[in-house]
Amino acid sequence: MLPTEVLEKAQSELTNWQGSGMSVMEVSHRGKPFVACAASAEQRLRNLLNIPDNYHVLFLQGGATGQFSAIPMNLTSPGDTVTYLNTGQWSAKAIKAAKAQDLNVEVLADEKQSNYSTVPAAGSYTIPAQARYLHYTPNETIGGVTFDYVPDTGGIPLIADCSSMILSRPMDISQYALIYAGAQKNLGPAGLTVVIVREDLTGKARPTTPDILDYAAMAAADSMLNTPPTFGIYLLDLVLAWVEKMGGVEAMEQRNRAKAEALYSFIDNHEFYANPVAINARSQMNVPFTLANPDLDKTFLAEAEQAGLTNLAGHRSVGGMRASIYNAMGQDGVDALIGFMTTFADNHA
Amino acid sequence: MLPTEVLEKAQSELTNWQGSGMSVMEVSHRGKPFVACAASAEQRLRNLLNIPDNYHVLFLQGGATGQFSAIPMNLTSPGDTVTYLNTGQWSAKAIKAAKAQDLNVEVLADEKQSNYSTVPAAGSYTIPAQARYLHYTPNETIGGVTFDYVPDTGGIPLIADCSSMILSRPMDISQYALIYAGAQKNLGPAGLTVVIVREDLTGKARPTTPDILDYAAMAAADSMLNTPPTFGIYLLDLVLAWVEKMGGVEAMEQRNRAKAEALYSFIDNHEFYANPVAINARSQMNVPFTLANPDLDKTFLAEAEQAGLTNLAGHRSVGGMRASIYNAMGQDGVDALIGFMTTFADNHA
C-alpha cells in the first residue's frame, strides 16, 4: 500500500517529470535532475531516521533475499562464526542463505517451541566472542512477531532485517552495524532495497561478491555503479516527503500504535477471532488472526474482497488471515476492517 | 525512452489497475491478477522472439552488471576456462567480473587497436575446446558497435549481453545458450533484468550463488522466489503489447534500420560531424558522433536541450555525442535531430 497522495502525484507527472517533457523513467540516471532526486531521498531518510554520518545509505536491488547472501559475502570470510536469532520464516531464510557461504552459523535462539509466536527474552542467549555479527528480524512479516527490545550484543555488530518495520517507529541507528529493508512495505514499490551500513564494516567483501551486492563498491559509486531502479528511488523520495509531512517517525509510531491497539483489542475481545502471538511480541505492522471455525476462511476472504478489503489472506505457508497495517494505511482502513469483521462474525456465529 | 502510449496507459491506471481500486504497485505479486500479468509478459516475449520451449524466461533484478557475476556463478566451477570477446566498455566489465570468480578467463579478441570501433571478423579467433562458454556483446551501448554476425562456437555455449539491442530486430534464440538484458533500453524501466537461458545449463550453480541470481532457483519459483519488481514487469507487458501492435521485431528492425540509415547518412555526408565506427560494425541503436570542432560540444548540447533533444551527451568516459535511437523513438525523433544538427552546423560552421 502506498499513500494515496503519493500515487496521485506520481500519476500527475508520470509523462512529464519536472517539466522535462519526459517520464522520470526516461531521464538519465546520471543527469542532474535524477541525481538530485536520489540525493533528496537519501537526505530525507537520513533526517527521518537520524542516521549518523558514518553510515552509508545504499539504494540496491534484489530485496531482503539478496541481502541474506550479501551480508555474509561483505562481512565475513569462509570459516567465520556468525550468529542468528530464528523467530520465523524470514529469519530462517536468512540463516539458510548464510549456511551456503561456508560459515559456522550458530542459531542462538529458535522460537520453534512456541510455533514462532514469541521472541527470545533479552539475556537468554549468549553471543560467542568470535561472532562476526548477530542477525535478527525485528518484525517477522508472516508471523506478526516483533522484538520489544534491541538485542545488546556487547559490541558485536548487530544486523537487522527491517523490511516490514522501517519508518514505522523511531530507531537508534547507532545501535546497529547494518539494517536493510525491501522497499515494498513502508518505503515504496518492490524492486528497491535500502541498506544502511556503518562505513568501517565495508571494503572487505569476498572477491567473488557480485558488484551489485558489494557495499563498498556501491557506496563509492553513490549507488549508481549500475543503472539504479530509478522509478523506485523517485517514489521513495515521494513517500519520505509524505512521512515528513505526517510528522515523521514519531507520528507514524503513534498512528501505528493506535491502529494496532484497536485491531488487537477487537480480536482479543471477540471469541470468533484469535491472534496466536505472545502479547509482548505482537507486531504493529502485521496482525495475523484466525477464525474460530477455519471452514469459514474462504468465505471470509471472499466477502472481505467484496467489501473492498484485499490482501487479507495469510501467507500461503501458514493460511489463516493477516492484516498488514503498514504506514500508508490510516485508522479508517483499520476501522473498516473491524466493521467488516464484526458483521461477518454476527452473520456466521 | 518509452512509447508514449505505454506511458499514457500506465498513467491512466496508476491508481486503479484493472478496476482493483489499487495501483499495480500495491497488489500482491502472488495474487491472480499480477501472476497473470507476469505470465502475459513472458508469453508475449516468447512469441515475439520465438523462444523455444526448452528455454527459461526469467525476470530478475540487478541489471546486466548483476549478470556479469551471475553467469560464471551459475555456469562454471572455479578453475574452468571461459572466453570473452572484448569490443568495448560493457564487454570489459563482463570480463572483469568473470576474473573475480576464480576462472581462467581468455579474451579471444580485443578490439583495442581500433579504439573499439570494430568487431573481430568471424573466424578470426579460435575457441578452446574446454571453454565453458563464449561471451560477447552484440551491441556496445557506449561505443555504438554492433556485430554483423552471430559467432559460430561449434557447440560451445554462446552468451550474449543483449541489453541495448533486444527486440530491435529478430534473433534466433536457439543459437544462444543464454541471453540477458537490462530492461531500461528497449523493454521497460530500469530495475528489471530479463534472462533467457537454455534449461539444461541451469541447476549447477556454485553453492555460494545468491538465490536472487540462481537461475534454477528462480526458474523453479517462476521468478518469484522473492518479491519481483512488479511495476517493471507490468510495464514490460505494456511495452511488449506495443511491439506486437507495431508489427513485431521484424517491423522494429525495418523502422530501426531506416532511422539509423538516415542518421549515418547525414553524418557521413556532413563534414561538420563524424562517426568513428567501422561501417560493418555500426549500431542501429546507439550512434556516437563527434563535432569537427570539439570546443563546440557544450554549446551543441545546450542548444539541443533547448530544442527538446535530450540525452545526447556521450558517455562520461568518452565524451562527444551519442544519439540512442531505441525502439521507442520514431523516425520523427531522428528527423528532428537531423534538422537540429543541420541548423547547428550552418550557424557554427
The predicted pLDDT at position B317 comes to 83
Catalytic residue among B161, B214, B237, B259: B161
Mutate one of A27, A29, A211, A236 to test the B interface: name it (highest B CB count within 10 A). Answer: A211
Q: Find residues 119-178 of chain B whose CB sits inside 8 Å of chain A.
A: none
Q: Is B262 on the interface with A (CB under 8 A)?
A: no
Interface test with B, best of A68, A208, A209, A233 (most B CBs within 10 A): A208
Q: Which residue of A has its CA nearest to B2?
A: A26
Query: Could you give the CA distance from residue A328 to residue A325 in angstroms, rounded to a whole number?
Result: 8
| Chain segment B253-288, per-residue pLDDT in tens | 999 999 999 999 999 999 999 999 999 999 999 999
Looking at the complex, does the CB of residue B88 fall below 8 Å from at least one CB of chain A? Answer: no
Which of B15, B192, B212 has the CB atom closest to A66's CB atom? B212
Using CA atoms, how far apart are residues B219 and B224, in angstroms rounded to an integer?
A: 9
Q: Which chain B residues contact residue A1 at CB under 8 A? A: 22, 26
Rg for chain B (alpha carbons), in Å? Answer: 21
Comparing alpha-carbon positions, the chain B residue that sits nearest to A5 is B15
Residue A102: per-residue pLDDT: 98
- Our CA-based measurement puts residue B122 at a distance from the nearest CA of chain A, in whole angstroms, of 31
Residue range B195-239, pLDDT digits in tens: 999 999 999 999 999 999 999 999 999 999 999 999 999 999 999
The question of whether B90 is a catalytic residue gets the answer: yes
Full-model pTM: 0.97
DSSP A226: S
- Give the orientation angle of helix A297-306 with respect to helix A331-348, to 10 degrees: 130
For chains A and B, what is the number of CB pairs under 8 angstroms? 175
Q: Look at residue B18 and tell me whether its pLDDT is greater than 90.
A: yes
Cα within 13 Å of Cα(A131), Cβ side: 22
Q: Which residues of A are tagged catalytic?
A: 90, 161, 185
Check pLDDT > 90 for residue B164: yes
Question: B228: Cβ–Cβ under 8 A, 6 or more apart, which residues?
Answer: A190, A191, B29, B38, B59, B61
Q: Which of B74, B72, B115, B107 is nearest to B91 (CA)?
A: B107
Q: What is the pLDDT of residue B62?
A: 97
Of the candidates A25, A100, A213, the beta carbon closest to that of B189 is on A25
Instruction: Return the DSSP state at B227.
Output: -
What are the Cα distances from residue A339, in Å, to A98, A342, B342? 44, 5, 68
Active site residue B161: yes
- Find the helix or strand (DSSP H, E) in which B41 lies: helix B32-49
Q: What are the phi and psi torsion angles at B31 (to 5°)?
A: -75, 155
Q: Per-residue confidence of chain A (349 residues) as pLDDT tens digits? A: 899 999 999 999 999 999 999 999 999 999 999 999 999 999 999 999 999 999 999 999 999 999 999 999 999 999 999 999 999 999 999 999 999 999 999 999 999 999 999 999 999 999 999 999 999 999 999 999 999 999 999 999 999 999 999 999 999 999 999 999 999 999 999 999 999 999 999 999 999 999 999 999 999 999 999 999 999 999 999 999 999 999 999 999 999 999 999 999 999 999 999 999 999 999 999 999 999 999 999 999 999 999 999 889 998 888 899 999 999 999 999 999 999 999 999 999 8
pLDDT at A318: 84
Out of B184, B191, B210, name the one closest to residue A69 (CB).
B210
Distance CA A72, CA A255 (A): 36
Q: How far apart are CA A228 and CA B62, in angstroms?
A: 8
As a whole-number percent, the residues of chain B with pLDDT over 90 amount to: 97
Bridge partners for B135 per DSSP: B84, B159
Q: Which of A165, A163, A168 is nearest to A180 (CA)?
A: A163
> How many angstroms separate the CA atoms of A313 and A147, rounded?
24
Q: Does A7 touch chain B (CB under 8 A)?
A: yes
In A28-52, which positions are buried (b, 16+ CB within 10 angstroms) versus exposed (e)?
A: bbeeeebeebbebbbebbbebbebe
Whether chain A has a CB inside 8 Å of the CB on B72: the answer is: no
Phi, psi (5° rounding) for residue A128? -60, 145
Q: Which of A8, A73, A212 sits opposite B65 (nearest CB)?
A: A212
Give the Cα separation of B195 and A143 in Å (integer): 33
The answer on pLDDT for B246 being more than 90 is: yes
Instruction: Tell me what pLDDT residue A283 has.
Output: 98
Instruction: Determine the distance in angstroms separating the CA of B45 from the nearest CA of chain A, rounded to an integer.
Output: 21
Distances (CA, A) of A23 to A161, B62, B214, B284: 32, 21, 32, 24
At A104-154, the pLDDT tens digits run 999 999 999 999 999 999 999 999 999 999 999 999 999 999 999 999 999
What number is the ipTM of this complex? 0.96
Beta-bridge partner residues of A297: none
Rounded to an integer, what distance in angstroms lies between the CA atom of residue A72 and that of residue A248? Answer: 32
Give the list of residues 6+ apart from residue A29 with CB closer than 8 angstroms, or none.
A35, A38, A224, A227, A228, A230, B190
Question: Taking phi first (over 0 means left), then psi (-120 to 50 degrees means alpha), and beta for anything else, what does residue B30 get?
Answer: alpha
pLDDT band at B316 (very low <50, low <70, confident <90, very high): confident
Cβ-based neighbours of A308, under 8 Å, separated by 6 or more? A336, B21
Single-letter residue type at A280: N
Q: Collapsing DSSP states into helix, strand and coil, what is residue A205?
A: coil
- pLDDT for the residue A35: 97
CB B159 within 8 A of CB B179: yes
Query: Which residues does chain B have within 8 Å of residue A23's beta carbon, measured at their own beta carbons?
Result: 2, 7
Nearest to A211 among B7, B97, B102 (CB): B97
Taking the C-alpha atoms of residue B57 and residue B215, their distance in angstroms, rounded to an integer, is 10
| DSSP reduced 3-state for A161 | strand
